Amino acid sequence: MTIKSIIHSKKHPVFNIETFGKVSSTTNPYSYYKNMKDTKGLTFDVSNQKVLANMDVQGTVQCLTFYHNNLLTEEKPGVWVNKQLTQSNNLALTVKVAGIDYDLAQTDHRVEVDIIHDSLPRFIHHYPTFKVIVVPFAPIIEGKRLSMLVQQVAIVSETQRPLQVAEVNLVPLYQNKYSDQQNVLIHQKGSEQIVNFGEIATFSVAFVDPNAFKELPLFQKSDTEVWLLDTLNYFDEIFGELVLPDENIKHLYNRAIYQSFSSFGMNHDNQIVGSNWGSYPATNRIWNKDMYYSSLPFLFFDKELCQKTILWFDQYGIKFPGSKFPGGINHSLSNSLASTILAVLYYEHTSDLDFFDGYPEVLDNAMTIVDEVLAQQQPNEPMLFESTWISDAFALGKYHTGSNLCLWKACDGLAEILDVKGFSVESKRYKDAAKAIKAAICNQMTTEGPFGTQFLEGIGDEEQAKYAVSHYQKPILEQGLIFLSDVIKDGKIDLLMHDGEESDTTLIPFYQFLASDDPLYQHTLAFAANSANPTYSEEIKGITWGLESGATFPGFITVLMSELDNEKGFSNRLQELFSLADLDGSWWWWPYRLGASRGDVVRDFGCGKCGWAAGIFVSMLLSQYFGLTFIKGVLQINPIPNLEFTWSKLHFGKVFLSIECTKRYLNITNLSEELLTIRKNDEIVVLGKEEKIRIEREIK
């Protein structure tokens, strides 16, 4: 791969747009956003966690964000930590060709934008005698992230006469006075040159965090083309070489990974400082629940980022005592358990005990939190525990199903880690607690629904499937009722419903609470994606969000999983997700206004892009669609019936392998120096490097 191959590679088949003035077009026949008359709100985003650049269709950096530190705040139910940002706006480049300045931000020329390697945007500016190709990237070199955005600029001559190309003109840091400066350092590399037809003049421009000014010499000495290739390679290694009959699924999956990663912020000291809604916009607020779900792909693809996220939640997962909210573990039980759940999922996917030895506080704090919750169990009450909030919506009922699922996963996973570490007494205590919690969830949080026995959203006190609104009609709390307009009747909340932002029940098979083919799970999701669910909209094929918006995007992933055992239905739901992706391949949190018709989508409506949905989509596709899971350190591969694919050079948790999957068999090759322990039907097999195994598939 060279800079020439990047410049001249084919346009991305679906994630692209072409503009000239106010006229735009795309080769994407599927996206509902192709019908929008203007490009307002469409951003192409670049991130390596340390920097986030949101760019419009002209390639102007509408907002450049660098992240700094955290501080505690007292505001929304799901937000009690902020992150400090410095931002700069409207950073555009001008090139000088044949003595004339060309402002790339102007709409007086044709611009093509697409995505290369499913990760970075490419802007191609067309002029009469030349074109300018700009590929922005946030450098990741050998795993090291730099606090800068680099724009790799190539000017290609398209005239038979020699063309004089001068340097890129830098964005002015001030206009009239020194205090007009931006929150960024800007430097460039490249010099004036003469190019003939077809030849390329290259330049690079760096936008650097002033707090990381010591990185400037790295840029000045660098070969930024090599940097660009290294950065692309980072994402290529995460994606692997996946080939599917429908390549659109691959592109959607890859873009979801990029979206979840780009939701995160890291400061110049390499500390995770939280997340945003998604890759746009950067927000001071941190919704802890969003951050948890957005981080799930770290489990599979980046141990370092996963570890840093666990440590962040270990510090900030529990709401502190405040003046609006009393805080404590039960403020949001699932958020309080986030560090614990990520830690047990991390061990599940990596078998890495060294992390826990290096940070013993992670397990110590996890045990303290879980013990405090378990101590709340009351005589004559089920082995279930209270939570007020999920994020900004209520954890409905006296006991909320998803929150107690999180407690089960925390107990079950802690038992596994402690057993391996030799703490058999403590391990048995948590294993027994997990069994009791699971029994209570399955026996007492279920009811007969239209498709059979299913989970309720939560359970009430006087009635199993009803909970009085009066529990929430208090100062502050009643604001949360705006999300419940579809389920309140006669002063009671109907708990036979599915909240579109309750994703822990959707993740049941990923958590290994129940298998995806368990009737309880299937009936629950079938109900969630049916008009019997008062929050489901048959018109938009998604789950509504009270008085706030027509749909909330995590609900679309629940709806997708409702069809996992139905090949045609699952394909149709995937197509709907593809249609809801904007032309950069991103999903918006709220793609519909209230009462909208299917396909009548909007951008940037209330919330930005949705890292939460991206994170759970990647997790469910990997674990349930492609069937990749670890059970007690042993890799299991059990794709859905009839799925055919090849996946070369796949990094997944602790393994590195290639997979060939047909309807009849799986061929697995271990590519790692480490031994691969894998289940072959009823036996466990160990493969050395380059060793292969063939597993016959059950024909259905």
For 50-86, the pLDDT digits (tens) are 999 999 999 999 999 999 999 999 999 999 999 999 9
Please identify which residue in the block is written with the tokens 């940037």. Answer: 604
**How far is the C-alpha of 620 from the C-alpha of 129, rounded, in Å?**
49
Q: Is 99 helix (H, G, I), strand (E, B) or coil?
A: coil
The secondary structure of 60-78 as a DSSP string is -EEEEEEEEEEEE---STT
Could you give the count of Cα atoms lying within 13 Å of 12 in the half-sphere of its Cβ? 28
Q: Please give the average per-residue pLDDT across 399-416, as a whole number.
A: 98
**Segment 389-404, tens digit of pLDDT:** 999 889 999 999 999 9
User: Looking at 183-192, 226-235, 365-374, 472-481, which range is the least confident one?
Assistant: 472-481
34 touches 16 (CB < 8 A): no
Percent of the chain with pLDDT strictly greater than 90: 89
675 token code pair: 């031994």
C-alpha to C-alpha distance for 130 and 193, rounded to whole angstroms: 14
The sign of the torsion formed by the CA atoms of 115, 117, 123, 129 equals: negative
The predicted model scores a pTM of: 0.97
Whether 404 and 397 have beta carbons less than 8 Å apart is answered as: no
pLDDT at 190 over 90: no
- The strand pairing partners of 496, in sequence order, are none
Q: How far is it, in rounded angstroms, from Cα 669 to Cα 594? A: 50
pLDDT category at 174 given cuts 50, 70, 90 is low
> Beta 536-537 vs 488-489: how paired, if at all?
unpaired
Q: Specify the DSSP element, H or E, that contains 307.
A: helix 303-316
- Cβ atoms of residues 190 and 168 within 8 Å: yes
Start-to-end CA distance of the chain, whole Å, equals 42
Mean pLDDT across the stretch 688-697? 96
Which residue do the tokens 């409506």 mark? Answer: 605
Q: What value does the mean pLDDT of the chain take?
A: 95
SS3 95: strand
Asked if 187 and 219 count as a contact pair (C-beta separation under 8 A), the reply is yes
Cα(479)–Cα(391) distance, integer angstroms? 13
Strand ranges (E), 526-577: 536-537, 542-543
Is residue 211 exposed (0-12), middle (13-18) or buried (19+ Cβ within 10 Å)?
Answer: middle
Residue 181 has pLDDT above 70, yes or no: no
**pLDDT of 81:** 98
Cβ neighbours of 21 (radius 10 Å): 10
Cβ–Cβ < 8 Å for 654, 594: no
DSSP per-residue letters across 623-663: IIIS-EEEETTEEEE-PPTT--EEEEEEEETTEEEEEEE-S
Mean pLDDT of 443-465: 97
pLDDT reported for residue 656: 98
- CA 458 – CA 449 distance, rounded (Å): 14
pLDDT tens profile 638-649: 999 999 999 999
Cα 619 to Cα 516: distance, rounded to the nearest angstrom: 13
Cα 422 from Cα 504, distance rounded (Å): 30
Q: In whole angstroms, how far apart are CA 688 and each of 173, 240, 253, 635, 691?
A: 57, 20, 29, 14, 5
Instruction: Pick the closest to residue 278 from 268, 266, 265, 269 (CA basis).
Output: 265
Q: What is the mean pLDDT of residues 221-245?
A: 96
Closest CA to 559 of 620, 506, 497, 616: 506
Residue 124 and residue 141: Cα distance in Å, rounded? 25
Q: Compute the half-sphere exposure of residue 642: CA atoms within 13 Å on the CB side of its CA.
A: 8
Tokens for 458? Answer: 């939560």
pLDDT in tens, 2-48: 778 888 899 999 999 999 998 999 999 999 999 998 999 999 999 99
CA distance 676 to 679: 10
Is 475 a residue whose pLDDT tops 90? no
> Residue 180: pLDDT band by 50, 70, 90 thresholds?
low
Q: Provide the pLDDT for residue 648.
A: 98
Radius of gyration (Cα) for the chain, nearest Å?
A: 26
Q: What is the mean pLDDT of residues 313-326?
A: 96
Q: What is the pLDDT of residues 550-577, one digit of tens each?
A: 999 999 999 999 999 999 999 999 999 9
Under 8 Å between Cβ of 45 and 586: yes
Calpha distance 383→385 (Å, rounded): 7
Tell me what pLDDT residue 698 has.
82
Sorted by sequence, the CB contacts under 8 Å of residue 410 that are 6+ apart come out as 337, 340, 341, 344, 366, 369, 370
10 Å Cβ neighbour count for 557? 31
Cα(178)–Cα(585) distance, rounded to whole angstroms?
A: 40
Q: In Å, what is the CA distance from 679 to each residue of 412, 646, 687?
A: 22, 19, 11
Alpha helices in 151-223 (DSSP H): 216-221
Could you report the per-residue pLDDT of 582-625, keeping only the tens digit for each? 999 999 999 999 999 999 999 999 899 999 999 999 999 999 99
Sign of the CA dihedral 328, 330, 332, 334?
positive
Token representation of residue 606 = 């209330």
CB 264 within 8 A of CB 667: no
Q: Place 173 in a pLDDT band, splitting at 50, 70 and 90.
A: low
